[in-house]
Amino acid sequence: MGMTPAIDYYSNSRALVPLRSPERFARPRLVEPPKSKGERVQTHDGRELYLRGIEPGDMAALKRQFSRLSPEDIRRRFLHSMGELPDSMALRLTHIDPALETAFVLMDETVQPAELRGVGRIFVDESANSAEFSVLVEPHWARQGLGALLMQRLVDDCRKRGLSEIWGYVLLENRPMLQLCKELGFVRRLMPDEPGTAQISLQL
């Protein structure tokens, strides 16, 4: 008598019974828009690639591309021999500072995982209002207009940034690159301190 029955939360009061249905966890879902692969481009022989800015997730693809290059390609791109692309360098090349760098990649999405077939980049020197470029297209994709495409995009990017010059070092033996740059209007300057190397530049 006089005892207040203990409240049986689980049978007497629906409001107090913990919900077991999926509603309990239902929250407005944020659906991310599908990530763009980039701009679709075509090689002279009709193969398809996607042009986009480099991303941190491209590090493994960059390393795989390096392993497909000939020693000559590597020397022409980096101006010295390198047996492998160290992780620290691959990390640095894929984690760019957009305020001072632009890097475009050409991705082959017809294979899994997607492979990087070309890359072009600039590094801005604010004090000189100019940018140094580098470009690379892997051998099986060469002579397809991709080097010219990457260079043109880098020139456009430098113009957008309001820079007055784009320049780079090229080995004098690197006829393909010297020819490509000549066609884009670059001029060549020999470097007395670096025999075998030219500095090529374009005033913007």
Ligand X SMILES: CC(C)(COP(=O)(O)OP(=O)(O)OC[C@H]1O[C@@H](n2cnc3c(N)ncnc32)[C@H](O)[C@@H]1OP(=O)(O)O)[C@@H](O)C(=O)NCCC(=O)NCCS
Please say which residue, 53 or 176, places its beta carbon nearer to ligand X.
176
By CB under 6 A, which span of 4-12, 96-104, 122-130, 177-185 interacts with ligand X? 177-185
Question: Whole-angstrom Cα distance, residue 91 to residue 99?
Answer: 18
Residue with tokens 């640095």: 92
Give yes or no for residue 148 binding ligand X (CB under 6 A). Answer: yes
Residue 103 binds ligand X (CB under 6 A): no
Q: Which residue from 114, 143, 134, 149 is spatially nearest to 41, judged by alpha carbons?
A: 149
3-state secondary structure of 172: coil
| Cβ count within 10 A of residue 22 | 7
Between 86 and 176, CB nearer to ligand X: 176
Cα–Cα nearest to 187, from 170, 174, 196, 173: 170
74: Cβ–Cβ under 8 A, 6 or more apart, which residues?
A: 66, 81, 82
Site string for ligand X, 48-77 (x = CB under 6 A): -------------------------x--xx
- Applying CB under 6 A, which of residues 96, 107, 124, 177 lies at the interface with ligand X? 177
Comparison of 24 and 157: residue with beta carbon closer to ligand X: 157
Name which of residues 74 to 93 contact ligand X (CB under 6 A).
Answer: 76-77
* Number of chain residues interacting with ligand X (CB under 6 A): 23
- Please give the Cα distance from 73 to 78 (Å, whole number): 9
Q: Which of residues 55, 89, 101, 145 is near ligand X by CB under 6 A?
A: 145
Tell me whether the omega of the peptide bond preceding residue 113 falls within 30 degrees of 0, making it cis. yes
Q: Is residue 198 a contact residue for ligand X (CB under 6 A)?
A: no
| Contacts to ligand X by CB under 6 A | 73, 76-77, 134-137, 142-148, 168, 170, 174-177, 179-180, 183
